[in-house]
Structure 1
């Protein structure tokens, strides 16, 4: 049955950073399916982002790919401004860009720590600040965090710390930008499947499936669906919230 209310994001323009990656692409596909015109921000995955823009356009949507190094402050501002110029407006910002290297804490260098902060946390701060001028009067900012922002794991001290900071930045931005009509929320995925993951990490995948009440790994589209909801009018009274998308694995006892 067709939705009598139409696509929930029809007429809106969204910018997704890190859109050439697995999760970013899943978010972009769901936003486009919900009716949004989508700007696919990318840095090192230009071919994938441009291919995705072609896919979304061929399916009847509106999409473009724009390059930007989000570790550069001026590039962040240019990306946001160019996205708003392309779309004629900007309604949704999804700060998805980031990195996830594994390094034991004892071996972690200051440069690696700083690189994580710049790519994951500082880029979101810069893009959010730049977007406010376009979002004033209403809009939605979404930060893609992680369940590791509240639950650490080996080799991810820098990643977990950056995601935890992103969660607090979500709440702080929601507090300060709420009077402008801007809502700011986070989505915290659990383990998201990718081609070859079960082959590369069979014990980890098996442990996850055993611990998750829903018995499966996440899909990029699961994260995208959460973003569509939080960006839509259905979440009009939700801000400063962290929506966990992990199949219930966080409910598993740790003792």
Structure 2
């Protein structure tokens, strides 16, 4: 893996399945990791403990990222931990299923606040911290940014906007040495997924050329690459991590 020794990375939503995988891969690359959570304190603590047990460094912080001030405070606290912040991974978000026919404006706004506005505010705060040293910001988007699903109109819209925000931020923050990219995962496995949604998992296996679901570490590896010196000339890019399912014919 790339060597990220000496760096500090803030991973939002790190107590969730994908966030857990991202944080652990940054730690495996030698970086110190700030583990953010909103509600799952025990999950965040367990993750930090696993990182420390493996010889890494982890710091746990909590925040409700639907508030702009909370986003800025989180980033400031992450940077204060070791006096620097090199990487930000905006992973926090929600994914409720609601058909357009019954979707309310309140639910629409809640989706945008959790998935898009939080990334905007955290990125803005991180850019202020990184403006003298440069750094990397990665948003976790989704292949649904370009491939909608039933019941996911608000989610897909938020992820599509997230991709464009990253491109706009790459343009404006580039002169400061700050790179901004997105990683768009496909279906990532979690405990119980095959039992909860067997028909969906089966369809995915048929459609994906690599014939498997993604693992949280697959997403984490992509984030580590984009944050590393190996990607020093990559910004404004959306990296699809989906086992090739986007290459499957649509007819």
1:237 is the counterpart of 2:233: yes
Runs of 4+ in structure 1 deviating by more than 2 angstroms, as ranges, are none
For 2:196, the equivalent position in structure 1 comes to: 200
1:69 is the counterpart of 2:64: yes
1:90 is the counterpart of 2:85: yes
For 1:251, the equivalent position in structure 2 comes to: 247
Q: TM-score, normalised by structure 1?
A: 0.97
Distance across 1 between alignment mates of 2:43 and 2:174:
35
For 1:114, the equivalent position in structure 2 comes to: 109
1:188 is the counterpart of 2:184: yes
For 1:174, the equivalent position in structure 2 comes to: 170
**Residue pair 1:50, 1:64 contacting (<8 A) in 2 also:** no
- The equivalent position to 1:138 in structure 2, one of 134, 140, 149, is 134
Unmatched segments (≥5 aa) in structure 2: none
Distance across 1 between alignment mates of 2:176 and 2:199:
47
1:104 is the counterpart of 2:92: no
Q: TM-score, normalised by structure 2?
A: 0.98
Distance across 2 between alignment mates of 1:138 and 1:190:
30
Q: CA RMSD in A?
A: 0.8
- The equivalent position to 1:215 in structure 2, one of 196, 211, 216, is 211
**Residue pair 1:13, 1:91 contacting (<8 A) in 2 also:** yes
Distance across 2 between alignment mates of 1:74 and 1:133:
14
Distance across 2 between alignment mates of 1:125 and 1:59:
33
TM-superposed CA distance for 1:34, in Å, is 0.3
TM-superposed CA distance for 1:87, in Å, is 2.0
TM-superposed CA distance for 1:55, in Å, is 1.1
For 2:145, the equivalent position in structure 1 comes to: 149
Residues 77-134 of structure 1: per-residue CA shift (max 9 Å, x gap): 1100000000210000000000000011101011100000000000000000001121
TM-superposed CA distance for 1:64, in Å, is 1.1
- The equivalent position to 1:16 in structure 2, one of 3, 11, 34, is 11
Residues 199-243 of structure 1: per-residue CA shift (max 9 Å, x gap): 111111000000000000000000000000000000000000000
Aligned residue-pair number: 250
Distance across 2 between alignment mates of 1:202 and 1:50:
31
Distance across 1 between alignment mates of 2:25 and 2:82:
18
